[in-house]
Structure formats: structure tokens, C-alpha cells
Amino acid sequence: MPAEQPRLTRQRGPAQKPGIVHLGLGAFFRAFGAIYIEEAQRKDGGDWGIVGVSLQSTRTRDQLAPQDFVYTAKELGAEASSLRQVEILYDVLAAREDPEAVLSAMADPTTRIVSLTVTEKGYCHDPSTGQLNPQHPDIAADLKNPVPVSAPGYLVRALARRKAVGEPPFTVLSCDNLPDNGKLVRGVVIELARLIDPDLATWIEHEGRFPSTMVDRIVPATKQEDIDALAAETGRFDDAPVFHEPFRQWVIEDDFVPAFGTGKRPDLGAVGVQLVDDVAPYEHMKLRMLNGTHSAIAYLGYLAGHETVADTVADAVFAPFLKALWRQEIIPSFEAPPSVDLEIYADELLARFANPGIRHRTWQIAMDGSQKLPQRILGTLKDNLAADRPTSRLATVVAAWMHYAGGTDLNGQPIDVRDPMVDRLKSISDNPADDAEKVAAFLNIRDIFEPDLAGVLKPSVTRAYQDLKTDGVQSVLRSLG
């Protein structure tokens, strides 16, 4: 911290008493859910302070604690920006350092919601089936030891404490980009509880609530140069700011634990959150149209030599490709949410992607592709194949992921691949087999590809894999646009 600059401090008095524990306190939730919750608390009152939990490291806690857990959120528009100071955080705990403090906070009767953004891999599930993976190292550890390691482990052990003292369960609110995220986390939690205590699993089934959600705001990773620039702009040092686009959308299935009555949740509807009976149409729209094309941009854009999303869509071949991908392969694959024009939504997405104020790196979006691909791309592919609709562009995205996941770009330069299956993916790519055999080996990863889908995809993905290798990204997209 520069010696001449004061540290960011709390402006509005003591932190609000906590009512929410959030697992996985990364930049996205702090730029999205925390802001919505603070706005709702200010508008309607209630004790909705947030206790954040870092499951893996102490870094976020160490950054926020010296500034009393407040931070700056900077909105980056295409032509202007704005700042706000967020003060809804009550405390931040480091799970690896003090797991008991985390369990105590979750089990506290004042905690009515436990939300989470732990990314796809944090659910310790099989992405191709959505079911708990009992062989996952963290789950294996949680089955042996009552001190949990995984997010599902913390949920199960904290719910067990609530049941033991006659308290109602907290609502589990997933904010991760997963289809049916509420259903998925419910299934994982109940499966793990059943392996630990069948009576607990039955209680969670009957009393627990796991509403599904759709979340949407582009939040690039914060870099040191962003921190330095903000300090120069404001004259105060903030070690943990977040940066985000103006757009935001939160759709939540309005199904919270009823035992808490009117205090079961903040009045989120008063600040623009859509509380609905069925989130599925919104999930499909966002996962397929935004996240699906984000992954397409990540792999194809990176292989084309582009650092950011905005750089990628500025490349003349990408906009026609994305428009055709939406129009011919994504939009026909699902029903639109009520009163939503998907063609207009696609135009809005392209404008958001082109926002030069958001430096969203293709490398960042490309992380954990083995976990993201089934939800973002393969579901759409499967539906299109069943309905005999076009699939060539989506198949090209899968082929681009295979090139990227192998750890070497189209020019032979190394890629720093971040993925829980990185060793297996690199082993396939490094095998001296020909292209068709490599594609077949990728498609044979049952944690990602269903056998029936893999068999149908093999010819088109192999062709796309070879075309990318021979002709390059721009030429391939030009032929598909």
C-alpha cells in the first residue's frame, strides 16, 4: 500500500448483523449478489449482513480485514464509469484456517440463507450426470472426517448441527452458472448426507429448500494495475476492489425455507431481482446464449491470438460467426422466457461483449472447461442433434476446446491451462496418435461426454479439429459465418 494513501474505511457505521453466509467469496458475488442484498437491506431493513467464506485460501480475508471488510465496486460502461462503496460484509472467514468458525456461522440460528459461488468444480459432481462423485478427493475426505473440506461437506455438516438442536435448515442458494443449480446442489447435498447419516438426508429432503437461480453480470478478474489505477483515482487504497459491467440480472425461484416467515429472505424483488416459479427458461437463455458464446469466444478467440472478449468480437470474422451461432444453433434449442425477444437479447449480448471498458480475458473464461462444456455447449448440441438442426458451429467450439485443453496453441506455443483434469487432457494431446484418434480420446472422457453423444459428434468434431489446425481460426469462422 502506498504510504501516502489512507486505507478505505467504513462510512455508514457498524456492519449489519449477519443473516447470510456466503461460500466462495470471489469477485463475482461481491460485484453482484452482495450489491443486490445491500440495496434490498437499505430499502426494506432487516439483518442481512453477509459472512463471507474463503474455502481455499486466506487471501480475500487478508485483503478485506484491514479495511473492515468494505470495498469499492467500479462499474465500467462503454463511455463512462462510476464508483460505489459496498459495506454489507460483516466478516470474512478462511475455512482452511478455522473450519469450526465457518460451521458455527452456518449453524447459527440467525443464518437464514447460505449462498455459494464455488464454480462448477466446487460441487464435486460428475458434470456429465450431475451426481455426486464419491471418489472426489474432497468428498472422500469429508466421508472420513467430520471437519469438512468441500462446499457440499460444509453444507451437510452445518445442516446436521441445525437438525441436532431442533433448528430449521437454512435455504441453500446457489449462484453458480449451472443448469438447475438448485436441483444440482440439492442432489449433491442429499447424496452426501445419505452416505453420512440417512436420517439427516431424509430431513434435508423434507425440510430443506434449494431454489434455482440465474445470475448475469460480466465481472473480469481484478489485476494489480486495476488496484493501482483506482487508488490514483480516489486517493484511497482499496486492496480488494471489483470491476463490473453496467448490466445485471438475477432470477430466483421463490422457494425459501418457510419457517422464518417474512424474514426468510431480503426483499430482493424491490431492487429488481425477478422472483419466479420456474427459472429454467432464464437459465437456458443465459447458459446457452451468453455462457455458451462466452466459451466459444474464449477458445476460438484465444487460439486466434486475442487477449480479451472485446478484442475478439472486434475481429471482423467473429460477429458474423456469433450471430449465425445464435440464430441457427442456439436460439432454436430452447423456449424463450416470457416476454423476451431472443433476437434482441442476442444483439444486447454482442454489445456487452464489445464493451471496451471490460477487459475480460479469454484465458480467464477458458478456465475449467472440462466442467463448463457439458452445461454451456453439449446440452445444446444434444438437443440440436435430436431435432436434426445444424451443429457445425458448436462442433467447432468443441474442437477449439480440445486444441486449447491440450496445452499448445495453433502456432505451437504453450498455454497455461487451468482445469481440474489438466493432466489427463494434456496426456491425450501429447499422444503421438493422429488427429482422429486424439479427438476420439477426448470424446471418450465419460466425465464430460455421454457415450451416445460422443459417437455422433466424432465425424464433425474431427473435421473441425483438423480444419482449425490446417487453416486457422479466422479462415474456419469465415467459412461458417
Q: How far apart are CA 42 and CA 49, in angstroms?
A: 11
Contact 373, 449 (CB under 8 A): no
For the chain, 481 residues long, give each residue's pLDDT as a single digit of tens: 555 789 998 988 777 899 999 999 999 999 999 999 999 999 998 999 999 999 999 999 999 999 999 999 999 998 889 999 999 999 999 999 999 999 999 999 999 999 999 999 999 999 888 999 999 999 999 999 999 999 999 999 999 999 999 999 999 999 999 989 999 999 999 999 999 999 999 999 999 999 999 999 999 999 999 999 999 999 999 999 999 999 999 999 999 999 998 889 999 999 999 999 999 999 999 999 999 999 999 999 999 999 999 999 999 999 999 999 999 999 999 999 999 999 999 999 999 999 998 989 999 999 999 999 999 999 999 999 999 999 999 999 999 999 999 999 999 999 999 999 999 999 999 988 899 999 999 999 999 999 999 999 999 999 999 999 999 999 999 999 7
Q: Which of 307, 264, 293, 317 is nearest to 397 (CA)?
A: 293
Q: Which of 123, 146, 148, 117 is nearest to 27 (CA)?
A: 117
Residue 114's contacts (CB-CB under 8 Å, 6 or more residues apart) are: 20, 21, 22, 23, 106, 155, 158, 170, 171, 172, 173
Helices and strands (DSSP H and E) totals, the chain: 22, 11
Contact 44, 267 (CB under 8 A): yes
Angle between helices 292-303 and 342-353 (to 10 degrees): 40
Q: Provide the whole-model pTM.
A: 0.88
Q: How far apart are CA 331 and CA 346, in angstroms?
A: 9
Q: Which of 292, 278, 127 is nearest to 214 (CA)?
A: 278
Structural domains for the chain:
18-277 (3.40.50.720), 281-480 (1.10.1040.10)
Residue 337, C-alpha cell as written in the block = 422466457
Quickly list H helices, 209-307. 224-234, 280-284, 292-303
Quickly list H helices, 307-443. 309-314, 318-324, 342-353, 362-365, 369-373, 379-386, 392-405, 422-430, 435-443
Q: How far apart are CA 357 and CA 77, in angstroms?
A: 6
The one-letter code for the residue type at 243 is F
- Other CB atoms within 10 A of residue 340 CB: 12
The one-letter code for the residue type at 439 is V
Q: How far apart are CA 116 and CA 138, in angstroms?
A: 17
Q: How far apart are CA 77 and CA 63, in angstroms?
A: 26
Contact 111, 171 (CB under 8 A): no
* β-strand partners of 237: 7
